Every structure is written in C-alpha cells, then in structure tokens.
C-alpha cells in the first residue's frame, strides 16, 4: 500500500514533533510543511520537505491526503476551513478550538465537505490509559466513587517567550494542558455534569492562570478533583510519570488515583489496592497490593498510525469533532468558573 501523503501546518513545538514522526513512519510520507513564520523553513529543511508560508499554496502544490493542524488554538478553525475546501482530512491538535462557536464551525464544514476529523487527544492511544479504562470498566474497583488527579510541573521561562501562551483566550494550562486530564476523565469515567474552579496567577503574574484547583461532579455521581500548576518543580504530572514523552524528566510516581467501593488504583504504576478477603473489610484490616503489567509505548505514534487508517477509510476517528467539543466545553466551563468564582453546569454539545 502507498504511504499516506501527510503535511504539517504550524511547525512550532508540537508541529516539529509531528513532522519527525511522519518522516520516520513507513505508513506515511511528509509532503510539506507550512508556517506563517518564515524561520520555520529550518524545520522543513531538517526533514527534506518543501516549505510554504500560505496554507492554500501547500494544499494546491502538494495535494496531501491529510494534514496535521498544529497552529495555536485560535487558528485551528480557519486552517481547517481551508483544508475542508480542498477535501483534505485533518488531525487537529487539542483542543479542537478555543471556543464552542469555532468547534461548531469545524464540525459543520467537515460534515458538509465530507472530510474526516481526528482530534489530537493523543493520551487516549496510550496503553496506560487504556489499561486504567479496562480496570475501571471491569468492576475490579467495585463502583467507582472518586478520582484525584495531579498535574504539577515547572514550565521553563522560555516557554512564555511566545505571547499567545501568556494571554487569554488561547493560553494557560486550563485550556492547553488540563484539557488532557479532562478528556481522560471523560474517557475512563463518563460525562461531566458540573465544575467549580479556583485559580491563581500568583507565581508569574501573567494574564493566564498558573495554578488551579478544580472540583468536578460527573453525571454518574462520581466526584473528582484536579490540582494543577505549571509553576512548581514536582514529580507528579502525567508527563513525568508516564515516560511517554522523552522531552520530560521522568519519575516513578503516581499522578492519578481512582477510588472504588472495592479497591483503589494508582496511575501509572498501576498498583491496585484491595482487601485480600472481601468479607473482612474496614480500616482495621490489611490491604494488599497487586500490580497490573503494561507495556508502555508512544501514544503520539499510535495516534499517527490511526490517522493514516482514518484517511484510508479503514477506521473511524477515535476522537471525532463532537467528542472533542465535549472536552472543550468542560475546559471552557473551568475558565468560566474561574472568572465567576461559581460552579458551572456543563451543557453537553
């Protein structure tokens, strides 16, 4: 089978990584890179790909079958519109957009033009996340009752050299990073009904938040909390604990905990705590620990291979536009709650 012809639009932090993965995968070929910043020509040169400063020039000259849209959040919709008009399938980096209106524009034009949309919530392709989902769904924790998530790390100062990362809308960990936690929570535990968030910009004093505490109620009645900060050197983040991204310092810690009526699970160590004898339960009885083996692998690469199969028509997108819009609605609900200092009911789009 011929490799799927793919291009990357937006060759910044994550776009360069996509280009590297595409160039190194036999399922696809990198036919071009586009970025409005001419300095990104160096990324194209690195992978021997043609470089364009205008999206339409790339689409018309190289005729890719699919593109990875890795521009800033506020530009996703306008880039996808150009792709859809040229009948090119898209893998859009998360979040799908920076507003519900923009996400609806994306879903509508994709439907009208018949292009496929995969949204880059790449952690859903992680064997670790798939294992937690299996354990929770299997009932081995009993009835799920609570989830605790921690995403705490230190972003280096140069990360904020780009202005959009310091400003709202578009920047800030609620939309850029916690959308991952929110999406995982939905994937494993079900839909969210209400969020209440308090935030602080105390560490950097930027317009965007640097630290948050989020309280979440799921439709099932499960309660969840997320503590997040991008201003602290800490070992408790998905990136540090999962070892999935070589760019990060790795630790052997858990960053999430899942609690059920029969047991509790630490992630990503997959240590499952429960009573050895179920008829002897209660705080005075010993808990025993077992570990769920998982072979770790790169979810970004798995996502790319899935995108190739989506473009070929062999699979339906694991995360389509509608699904991603539900995760966006929660992240935007968090931002609204931060601003109003009140709980926000999530309207499922």
Ligand X SMILES: NC(=O)c1ccc[n+]([C@@H]2O[C@H](COP(=O)([O-])OP(=O)(O)OC[C@H]3O[C@@H](n4cnc5c(N)ncnc54)[C@H](O)[C@@H]3O)[C@@H](O)[C@H]2O)c1
Q: Binders of ligand X among 280-319, rule CB under 6 A?
A: none
Please select the residue that binds ligand X; options are 4, 7, 8, 11, rule is CB under 6 A: 11
Least gap, CB of 135 to ligand X (angstroms): 24
Least gap, CB of 229 to ligand X (angstroms): 17
Q: What's the farthest any 2 CA atoms get from each other in the chain?
A: 71
Q: Does 27 bind ligand X (CB under 6 A)?
A: no
* Residue of 262, 265, 181 lying closest to 225 (CA atoms): 181
What is the x/- site pattern for ligand X, positions 223-262, by CB under 6 A?
----------------------------------------
Q: Does 62 bind ligand X (CB under 6 A)?
A: no
Nearer to ligand X, 231 or 300 (CB): 300
Q: Does 37 bind ligand X (CB under 6 A)?
A: yes
* Residue of 177, 343, 345, 147 lying closest to 260 (CA atoms): 147
Least gap, CB of 52 to ligand X (angstroms): 9
* Residue of 5, 23, 1 lying closest to 301 (CA atoms): 23
Rounded CA gap, 288 and 310, in Å? 43
Interface stretch with ligand X, choices 36-44, 224-232, 260-268, 291-299 (CB under 6 A): 36-44
Under 8 Å between Cβ of 92 and 82: no
- The alpha-helical segments, DSSP class H, found in the chain are 13-23, 41-46, 55-62, 76-85, 100-113, 127-138, 173-176, 178-189, 238-242, 299-311, 321-340
Distances from the Cα of 36 to the Cαs of 73, 196, 250, 282, in angstroms?
Answer: 15, 38, 34, 61
Under 8 Å between Cβ of 167 and 207: yes
Please select the residue that binds ligand X; options are 19, 28, 30, 34, rule is CB under 6 A: 34
Chain residue whose CB lies nearest ligand X: 12
Rounded CA gap, 23 and 21, in Å? 5
Q: Binders of ligand X among 193-212, rule CB under 6 A?
A: none
Which H or E element spans position 92?
strand 89-93
Task: Name the token pair of 13.
Answer: 């932090």
Q: Binders of ligand X among 113-152, rule CB under 6 A?
A: 120, 122
Under 8 Å between Cβ of 293 and 186: no
Interface stretch with ligand X, choices 30-38, 182-190, 328-336, 337-345 (CB under 6 A): 30-38
Rounded CA gap, 41 and 22, in Å? 17
Q: Which residues is 264 bridged to in the sheet?
A: 259, 273
Least gap, CB of 274 to ligand X (angstroms): 33
Rounded CA gap, 183 and 93, in Å? 13
Nearer to ligand X, 9 or 132 (CB): 9
Least gap, CB of 37 to ligand X (angstroms): 4
Q: Binders of ligand X among 152-191, rule CB under 6 A?
A: 162, 176
Q: Binders of ligand X among 78-107, rule CB under 6 A?
A: 79, 93-94
Q: Does 61 bind ligand X (CB under 6 A)?
A: no
Least gap, CB of 303 to ligand X (angstroms): 9
Nearer to ligand X, 5 or 18 (CB): 18
Q: Does 71 bind ligand X (CB under 6 A)?
A: yes
Q: Does 75 bind ligand X (CB under 6 A)?
A: yes
Q: Does 73 bind ligand X (CB under 6 A)?
A: yes
Rounded CA gap, 233 and 262, in Å? 34
Least gap, CB of 8 to ligand X (angstroms): 9
Q: Does 7 bind ligand X (CB under 6 A)?
A: no
Under 8 Å between Cβ of 3 and 27: yes
Q: Which residues bind ligand X (CB under 6 A)?
A: 9-15, 34-37, 40, 55, 70-73, 75, 79, 93-94, 120, 122, 162, 176
């Amino acid at each position: 089978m011929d490799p799927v012809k793919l291009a990357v639009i937006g060759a910044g932090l994550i776009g360069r990584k996509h280009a590297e993965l595409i160039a190194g995968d036999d399922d696809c070929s990198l036919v071009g890179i586009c970025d409005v910043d001419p300095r990104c020509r160096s990324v194209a040169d690195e992978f021997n790909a043609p470089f364009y400063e205008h999206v339409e020039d790339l689409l018309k000259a190289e005729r890719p079958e699919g593109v990875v849209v890795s521009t800033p959040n506020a530009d996703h919709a306008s880039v996808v519109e150009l792709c859809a008009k040229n009948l090119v399938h898209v893998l859009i980096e998360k979040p799908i957009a920076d507003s519900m209106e923009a996400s609806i524009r994306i879903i509508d034009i994709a439907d009208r033009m018949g292009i496929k949309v995969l949204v880059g919530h790449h952690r859903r392709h992680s064997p670790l996340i798939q294992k937690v989902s299996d354990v929770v769904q299997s009932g081995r924790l009993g009835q799920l009752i609570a989830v605790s998530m921690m995403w705490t790390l230190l972003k280096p100062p140069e990360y904020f050299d780009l202005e959009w990362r310091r400003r709202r809308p578009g920047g800030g960990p609620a939309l850029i990073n916690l959308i991952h936690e929110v999406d995982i929570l939905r994937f494993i535990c079900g839909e969210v009904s209400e969020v209440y968030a308090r935030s602080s910009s105390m560490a950097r004093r930027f317009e965007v938040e640097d630290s948050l505490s989020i309280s979440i109620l799921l439709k099932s009645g499960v309660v969840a909390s997320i503590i997040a900060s991008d201003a602290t050197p800490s070992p408790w983040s998905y990136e540090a604990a999962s070892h999935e991204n070589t760019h990060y310092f790795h630790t052997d810690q858990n960053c999430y905990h899942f609690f059920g009526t029969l047991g509790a699970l630490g992630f990503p160590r997959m240590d499952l705590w429960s009573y050895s004898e179920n008829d002897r339960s209660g705080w005075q009885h010993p808990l025993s620990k077992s570990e769920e083996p998982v072979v770790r692998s790169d979810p970004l690469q798995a996502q790319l291979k899935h995108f190739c199969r989506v473009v070929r028509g062999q699979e339906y997108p694991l995360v389509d536009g509608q699904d991603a819009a539900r995760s966006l609605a929660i992240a935007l609900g968090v931002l609204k709650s931060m601003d109003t200092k009140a709980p926000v009911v999530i309207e499922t789009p």
